[in-house]
């Protein structure tokens, strides 16, 4: 057999740089000249010309058993299919290609690395980010194994930068890898021209969101960063124009990002003329994509143009663009009536579809507010309900915490609040609570759904995958059959098994399938078990919606928050020690009046336990330290705290109330050593408390958190915490000056406590994300399957915390529930304070219980009392029994 034509100048994907490889001339009969032609067409994005050549050559190489060139053709075919919207089909083809090379080739080759890169491109398009990163790392490993010069890793590093770009608070990692890629690309001009536009484009993209993340509302810094991002975009365009072979899709991306830059700057600077400039760039991007872009790419163009029109208050033009975008994804839907919901099934596994549905839902809600037509409101409600269903589906496919965060950040954000708002409005229009009661399971799980992703039924993944592949096949055949016969195209497409024909997503009632545990009936039954009421808050702008659920009733309350409400919470927490009792009472009473006063009017009189599920900045409110009135405000001890009337705890999600409890045993204490620390103050009282409890409860003590798998009843950590507000996953618990564990590392720990006591400063604080809640150490312990967490809302005093926790343990050891134990501990702490200043809420209100309230320490007190009473009664009756036996011989057997 003649040696195969093994190395060509290849473009790894539709937008990659060229590998310069040696050419071995053998014979034209094997089609190698045609292969050069097909690859040249592919490289210049002339896919309609490249595809028939590559399909024909693939069949020839397969017949000749030329594995190297056959897999090369298949790789390029998969890349073309991806560019025309067949993301899942491309991934399947590349998986088959990968397996063939691993089996038939003697050792890893450059072709296998190229296959991983092409697969990564498809995975990135489909937003399968965990698999995307794995493919890139495999490519890097192969290139290093075959000892390629490091310059050939430039594209791999660029892909790693793209991976980190997708996640909140990973800007530093993104910037590190893109600079590394730029350095390698500039080192060799032979291929840098093909990768530089992509690098500069990503640098512009980096500086654009980085300006928002790092500078927030500082206008001058924002303007400088917008200008810097556009400078990189201009560099990208200049590099692009120097290419001998144009790539229209790359041109479209650059124009699109320029449009985004002007559009976002318009939001900061309130210059509407910038929006017209943005629309102009979006139109240029649209024209670049019209011949070669996939339907999802074109849908995005329609969406951003529509969004710009919406901000210009040209609503009819905006709705037309949104409709146009959805119809591009679903061509059969071009004749939709904008007042009706879409046929709720995406044809592509692509995030843009969901974005389009969200914007259309927002416009329907706007139309309702304009003309009060309830049909628009009902349609908006159906759209938001679908958004949450699809969000849960995406979470079910996530295998990495940050990926789950990413999905929820994109799709869960605002959807659950919007569903509450539309359901509330429907209730006010129809006096029918069914919209809230029927959707409540979906709403409650959409609220911080990261916590529940492991509860979602994994089998649902097939419900989208099969239908998506079917729709992708339709689109591909429709758009690619111009120069290719049906039989030729079908020869390289995967066959869809009949058993995967599952109903569309819209007809799958996700709330019934896996959220039935939070049905109203079960939730109300659980609330009645301990005579408690759930107050579920939802914030939207200045509006605060409160859902008050008790054993036999359900009430909704809408309030308007003042513009300085969030600053009031900040003052309450951060100025405790600088205020006198009267000043504190006024501030705490104000927050109470704006959140709970009207809500508590709707709870049954006999209820004395409140379970609060906060939203937004309400998560940092010390609820039991709020004040009902300002009477008796001369002393901290005499203030009318809510603590005096109610037992209060919080839950991150209402699912905490109905989640199954697991029986666990044992006590583990983590003691830190800061006696000689130059960075942290010593915490002798908290450390001594942990040592005492280790001895009393026959537990174990460690100096750091173990990596071993360990299920324990109580985990008590006495330590210092350093929070990183910009990168919360890098926040750390320190055990001494050198040893620490980050929040990200802690989330991967295999220790599973039933109750986690986080005896440190600000363990419940962190960075708040819409729809994600506060990313804090309390969150990390929930991901470790903790049922309850005792956390701190601010920097706490060591001695006061230790004294309060000592009282808390005493109540727990008497068999009391956790929330009741904490309440009694706080009341006793206030009562026994040696001075009024020590009764300041600063010393006791920072400790807050969140999660389940069930007792975690078994007690035999009741059994011992019962046995004692039985023995006492028997002792009283014993003389009488003896007397009866003497008088009646028949009773001698007693």
Q: With pLDDT > 70 as the criterion, what percentage of the chain qualifies? A: 78
pLDDT in tens, 787-838: 899 999 988 899 999 999 999 999 999 889 999 999 999 999 999 998 999 9
Q: Give the per-residue SS3 of 723-744.
A: CCCCCHHHCEEECCCCCEEEHH
CATH for the stretch 661-851: 3.40.50.1460
Phi-psi region of 448 (alpha: psi -120 to 50; beta: other; left: phi over 0): left
HSE (side-chain half, CA atoms, 13 Å) at 224: 8
DSSP 720: E
pLDDT at 132 over 80: yes
Instruction: Reduce the DSSP state of residue 659 to 3 states and report it.
Output: coil
Residue 753: helix, strand or coil by DSSP? Answer: strand
36: pLDDT strictly greater than 50: yes
Tokens at 442, concatenated: 């979906």
**At the topology level of CATH, where does 519-656 sit?**
Nucleotidyltransferase; domain 5 (3.30.420)
Tell me, rounded to whole angstroms, the distance of Cα 106 from its chain centroid: 42
Return d(Cα 13, Cα 508) in angstroms, integer: 36
Q: What average pLDDT does the structure give for the chain? A: 79
**Cβ-count burial of 86 within 10 angstroms (0-12 exposed, 13-18 middle, 19+ buried)?**
buried
Q: What is the DSSP string of 544-584?
A: EEEEEE-SS-EEEEEEE--TTHHHHHHHHHHSGGGS-HHHH
Alpha helices in 343-502 (DSSP H): 351-371, 374-397, 401-407, 415-430, 434-446, 461-480, 486-490
pLDDT at 52 over 70: yes
Split at pLDDT 50, 70, 90, the class of 649 is very high
Which CB contacts under 8 angstroms, 24+ apart, belong to 217-223? 219/268, 219/269, 222/265, 222/268, 223/265, 223/268, 223/269
Strand bridging mode 788-792 / 847-851:
antiparallel
Q: Is 141's pLDDT higher than 90?
A: yes
Annotate 276-315 with b (16+ C-beta within 10 A) or e (fewer). Answer: ebbbebbebbbebbeebbbbbbbbbbbbbbbbbbbeeeee
The yes-or-no verdict on residue 533 having pLDDT over 60 is: yes
* Nearest CA-CA partner of 448 in 561, 526, 537, 573: 537
Q: What is the DSSP letter of 627?
A: B
As a residue count, the chain comes to 894
Token reading at 588: 């705490």
Q: What predicted TM-score, i.e. pTM, was given to this entire model? A: 0.69
Q: In the sheet where 667-671 sits, what is the strand order?
A: 554-560, 543-549, 532-540, 609-613, 647-650, 847-851, 788-792, 751-759, 710-718, 667-671, 700-702
Average pLDDT over residues 229-233: 89
Q: Which of 125-139, 165-179, 355-369, 601-615 has the highest mean pLDDT?
A: 601-615
Q: Is the pLDDT of residue 557 over 90?
A: yes
Cβ burial, residue 867 (10 Å; 0-12/13-18/19+): exposed
Question: Is 881 exposed, middle or buried, given 0-12, 13-18 or 19+ CB atoms closer than 10 A?
Answer: exposed
**Which residue did the predictor score with more confidence, 311 or 237?**
237
The pLDDT score that the predictor gives to residue 827 is 95
CATH code that applies to domain 10-122: 1.25.40
- pLDDT number for residue 679: 85
Q: pLDDT digits over 817-831, tens only?
A: 999 999 999 999 999
Judge whether residue 113 has pLDDT over 60.
yes
The rounded Cα 317 to chain-centroid distance in angstroms is 33
Residues 81, 475: Cα–Cα separation, whole Å: 10
866 contacts: CB under 8 Å, gap ≥ 6: none
**Contacts for 371 with CB less than 8 Å, ≥ 6 apart:** none
């Amino acid at each position: 057999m003649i040696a195969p034509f093994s190395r060509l100048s290849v473009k790894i994907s539709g937008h990659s740089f060229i590998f310069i490889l040696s050419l071995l001339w053998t014979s034209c009969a094997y089609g190698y000249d045609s292969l050069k032609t097909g690859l040249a067409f592919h490289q210049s994005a002339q896919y309609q010309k490249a595809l028939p050549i590559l399909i024909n050559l693939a069949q020839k190489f397969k017949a000749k058993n030329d594995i190297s060139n056959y897999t090369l053709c298949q790789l390029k075919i998969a890349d073309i299919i991806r560019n025309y919207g067949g993301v899942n089909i491309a991934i399947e083809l590349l998986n088959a290609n990968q397996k063939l090379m691993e089996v038939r080739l003697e050792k890893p080759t450059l072709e296998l690395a190229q296959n991983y890169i092409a697969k990564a491109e498809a995975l990135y398009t489909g937003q399968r980010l965990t698999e995307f990163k794995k493919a890139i790392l495999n490519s890097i490993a192969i290139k290093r194994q075959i000892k390629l010069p490091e310059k050939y890793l430039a594209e791999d590093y660029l892909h790693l930068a793209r991976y980190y770009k997708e996640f909140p608070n990973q800007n530093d990692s993104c910037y590190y890898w893109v600079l590394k890629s730029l350095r390698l690309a500039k080192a060799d001009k032979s291929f840098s021209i093909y990768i530089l536009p992509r690098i500069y484009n990503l640098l512009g993209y980096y500086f654009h969101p980085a300006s928002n993340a790092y500078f927030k509302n500082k206008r001058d810094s924002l303007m400088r960063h917008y200008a810097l991002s556009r400078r990189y975009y201009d560099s990208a365009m200049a590099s692009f124009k120097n290419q001998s072979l144009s790539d229209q899709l790359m041109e479209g991306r650059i124009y699109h990002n320029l449009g985004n830059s002007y559009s976002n700057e318009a939001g900061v600077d309130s210059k509407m003329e910038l929006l017209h400039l943005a629309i102009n760039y979006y139109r240029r991007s649209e024209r670049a994509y019209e011949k070669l872009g996939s339907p999802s790419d074109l849908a995005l163009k329609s969406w951003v143009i529509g969004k710009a029109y919406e901000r210009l208050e040209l609503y009819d033009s905006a709705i037309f663009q949104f409709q146009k975008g959805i119809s591009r994804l679903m061509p059969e839907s071009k004749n939709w009536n904008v007042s009706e919901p879409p046929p709720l099934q995406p044809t592509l596994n692509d995030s843009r579809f969901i974005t389009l549905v969200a914007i259309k839902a927002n416009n329907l809600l706007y139309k309702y507010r304009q003309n009060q037509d309830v049909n628009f409101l009902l349609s908006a409600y159906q759209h938001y309900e679908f958004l949450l269903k699809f969000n849960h589906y995406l979470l079910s496919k996530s295998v990495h915490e940050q990926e789950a965060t990413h999905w929820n950040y994109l799709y869960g954000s605002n959807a659950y609040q919007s569903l509450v708002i539309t359901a509330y409005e429907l209730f006010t229009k129809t006096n029918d609570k069914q919209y809230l009661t029927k959707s409540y399971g979906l709403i409650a799980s959409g609220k911080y759904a990261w916590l529940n992703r492991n509860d979602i039924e994994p089998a649902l993944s097939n419900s989208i995958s099969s239908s998506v592949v079917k729709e992708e096949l339709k689109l591909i055949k429709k758009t690619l059959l111009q120069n290719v016969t049906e039989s030729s195209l079908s020869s390289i497409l995967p066959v869809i098994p009949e058993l995967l024909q599952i109903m569309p997503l819209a007809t799958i009632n996700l709330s019934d399938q896996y959220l039935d545990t939070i049905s109203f009936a079960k939730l109300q039954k659980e609330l009645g078990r301990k005579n408690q009421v759930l107050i579920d808050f939802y914030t939207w702008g200045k509006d605060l919606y409160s859902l008050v659920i008790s054993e036999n009733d359900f009430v909704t309350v809408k309030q308007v928050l003042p513009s300085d409400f969030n600053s009031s919470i900040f003052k309450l927490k951060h100025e405790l020690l600088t205020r006198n009792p009267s000043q504190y009472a006024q501030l705490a009473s104000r927050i109470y009046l704006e959140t709970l006063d009207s809500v508590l009017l709707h709870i049954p009189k006999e209820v004395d336990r409140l379970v609060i599920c906060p939203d937004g900045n309400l998560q940092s409110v010390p609820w039991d330290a709020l004040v009902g009135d300002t009477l008796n405000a001369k002393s901290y001890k005499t203030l009318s705290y809510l603590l005096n009337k109610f037992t209060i705890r919080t839950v991150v999600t209402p699912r905490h109330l109905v989640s199954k409890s697991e029986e666990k045993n044992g006590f583990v204490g983590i003691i830190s050593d800061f006696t000689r620390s130059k960075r942290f103050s010593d915490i002798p009282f908290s450390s001594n408390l942990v040592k005492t409890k280790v001895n009393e409860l026959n537990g174990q003590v460690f100096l750091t958190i173990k990596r071993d798998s360990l299920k324990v009843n109580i985990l008590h950590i006495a330590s210092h915490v350093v929070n990183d507000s910009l990168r919360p996953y890098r926040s750390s618990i320190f055990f001494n000056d050198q040893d620490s564990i980050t929040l990200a590392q802690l989330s991967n720990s295999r220790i599973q406590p039933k109750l986690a006591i986080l005896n440190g400063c600000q363990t419940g604080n962190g960075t708040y994300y819409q729809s994600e809640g506060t990313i804090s150490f309390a969150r990390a312990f929930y991901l470790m399957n903790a049922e309850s967490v005792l956390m701190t809302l601010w920097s706490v005093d060591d001695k006061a915390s230790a004294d309060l926790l000592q009282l808390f343990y005493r109540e727990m050891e008497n068999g009391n529930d956790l929330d009741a134990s904490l309440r009694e501990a706080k009341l006793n702490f206030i009562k026994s304070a040696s001075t009024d200043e020590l009764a300041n809420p600063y010393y006791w209100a920072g400790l807050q219980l969140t999660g389940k309230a069930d007792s975690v320490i078994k007690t035999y007190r009741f059994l011992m009392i019962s046995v004692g009473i039985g023995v006492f009664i028997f002792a009283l009756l014993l003389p009488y029994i003896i007397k009866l036996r003497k008088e009646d011989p028949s009773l001698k057997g007693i």
